Amino acid sequence: MTASVIDGKVIAADLRARVADEVARVKRDHGLTPGLAVVLVGNDPASEVYVRNKHKQTQAAGMASFEHVLPAGVAQADLLALVARLNADPAVHGILVQLPLPKGLDTETIIAAIDPAKDVDGLHPHNVGRLAGGLPALSPCTPLGCIILTKSVHSSLEGMDAIVIGRSNLVGRPLVQLLLNENVTVTIAHSRSRNLSELCRRADLVYAAVGKAEMVRGDWIKPGATVIDVGINRIPLADGKARLIGDVAFDEAMEIAGAVTPVPGGVGQMTVACLLVNTLRAACAIKGLSAPAV
Q: Could you list the active site residues?
A: 54, 98, 121
Q: Which helix (H) or strand (E) holds 229?
A: strand 226-229
The 3-state DSSP class for residue 33 equals: coil
Side by side, the strands of the sheet bearing 35-41 are 64-70, 35-41, 94-97
DSSP structure class, residue 94: E
Q: Dihedral sign for Cα 195, 197, 199, 201, please.
A: negative
Integer angstrom CA distances of residue 101 from 43, 53, 74, 145, 171: 10, 19, 11, 23, 18
62-65 LR contacts (CB < 8 Å, sep 24+): 62/20, 62/23, 62/24, 62/27, 62/33, 63/23, 63/33, 63/34, 63/35, 63/36, 63/276, 63/279, 63/280, 64/33, 64/34, 64/35, 64/36, 64/91, 65/35, 65/36, 65/38
| CA R_g for the chain | 19
Distance CA 124, CA 121 (A): 8
* CA distances in angstroms from 183 to 140, 161, 179, 241, listed in the order given: 19, 10, 7, 43
- Helix (H) / strand (E) element for 281: namely helix 267-287
SS3 34: coil
Amino acid symbol at 200: C
